[in-house]
Amino acid sequence: MIAGRTVWVVIPAFQEELLVATVVRGVPQEVDHIVVVDDASTDGTAASVRASACARTELVCHAANRGVGASIVTGYQHFLAHCADARAVCVVMAGDNQMDPADLKGLIAAINDGADYAKGNRFATAAARQAMPALRWFGNVGLTIGTRVSTGLWHVADSQCGYTASTRAVLARIALDELYPRYGFPNDMLLHVALAQGRVADVPVRAVYAEERSKIRVLRVAPRIAALLVRGFWRRTGACSAHGWMLRGLWAAACAAFGGSIAAAVAATGTAGPLFLVGVSCAVAALLLDSLRCLQAPCVCSH
């Protein structure tokens, strides 16, 4: 137990034979149970887990590759089915050794301070910028901005960090089977936590980059996550009654004005500037209204 709570750790792993054993051995001894979910790896991932396993370690294997999000959901479902402690916490640590085990207690502390979902923030320190590859840095910043708009969780500073801790209660309120199964999972999870009226905490964690190899294909993944964020924004604002429809209208006007400015620029009619300013003004107004709503109605997107 950590800080009076039963703690499970879920480790999604795919083609991680070189690093997953290091992750399993590095999990703090106070953790009660470890579930490694092998997402149908074709290398020695499962064998590495078995070789490094102890009494508290359990290996669950997918018959076919389903994605990192689906692996985390499998771990969550296993946690809900086999851990009856209402105060238990489920932590997610990646199988590629990018997460510092020493930061786990900070996530649990945030839960004890009232959060339902504690999310790691690798951008909280200046060292993170030096540790993270430049392309990954800029990609994360862009996705974080989009996720803030989509979810209404304006304080979340690192949407893509997968180092998280969840209470049993908030996981039980989420339709886990509906979560996006692949690399858009962190964004979709934040949206579902917000819709479930969960309180989200940003917790500083260390960014670790060494031997791991990223499996993300940016050109394939980025459009899918963008579409996911647009759908998430539409779904969330649809639950907000009149205010939500106002937000939708402002964003529609912003998109129309922006598209009109592009068309005007192409046609060289000289009206691109004013239309662009209208679009930007509408977008800024929508952001300000949404941010204000989040502060005034924490039941929709708590902080």
> How much of the chain exceeds pLDDT 90, in percent?
56
Q: What's the distance, CA 277 to chain centroid?
A: 32
Provide mean pLDDT across the span 115-132.
83
Tokens of 112: 């004890």
Q: Report helix, strand or coil for 76.
A: helix
Q: Residue 230: is its pLDDT beyond 90?
A: no
- Phi-psi map region of 97: left, alpha, beta (phi>0 left; psi -120 to 50 alpha): left
Tens digit of each residue's pLDDT (9 = 90 or more) over 39-94: 999 999 999 999 998 899 999 999 999 999 999 999 999 999 999 999 999 999 99
Same-domain pairing of 89 and 114:
yes
302 in any annotated domain = no
Q: Residue 187: is its pLDDT beyond 90?
A: yes
Phi first, then psi, for residue 53 (nearest 5°) are -75, 150
Same-domain pairing of 126 and 257:
no
Q: How many domains does the chain have?
A: 2
Report pTM. Answer: 0.80
Helices (H), the chain: 20-26, 45-52, 68-82, 104-112, 127-131, 134-151, 168-172, 185-195, 218-238, 241-267, 272-296
Same-domain pairing of 276 and 170:
no
Residue 114: which CATH number?
3.90.550.10
Q: Residue 293: is its pLDDT beyond 80?
A: no
* Length of the chain counted residue by residue: 303
Measured CA to CA, the distance from residue 188 to residue 104 in angstroms comes to 22
Q: Report helix, strand or coil for 95.
A: coil
**Beta carbons of 124 and 130 less than 8 angstroms apart:** no
Q: What is the pLDDT of residue 139?
A: 77
Q: In the 8-state DSSP scheme, what is residue 133?
A: -
257 in any annotated domain = yes
Q: Residue 206: is its pLDDT beyond 60?
A: yes
Same-domain pairing of 146 and 47:
yes
Provide mean pLDDT across the span 264-280.
58
- The boundaries of the domain holding residue 42 are 7-231
2 in any annotated domain = no
Q: Which of 154, 151, 184, 189 is nearest to 170 (CA)?
A: 189
Q: Residue 123: is its pLDDT beyond 90?
A: no
CB atoms within 10 A of CB 73: 25
173 in any annotated domain = yes
Last residue of a domain, one of 175, 201, 231: 231
Same-domain pairing of 245 and 211:
no
Edge-to-edge strand ranges of the sheet holding 89-92 = 57-61, 33-38, 7-13, 89-92, 164-167, 117-121, 200-204
Q: What is the C-alpha R_g of the chain?
A: 21
149: buried, middle or exposed (CB in 10 Å: 19+, 13-18, 0-12)?
buried
Same-domain pairing of 13 and 75:
yes
Same-domain pairing of 136 and 59:
yes
Same-domain pairing of 273 and 217:
no
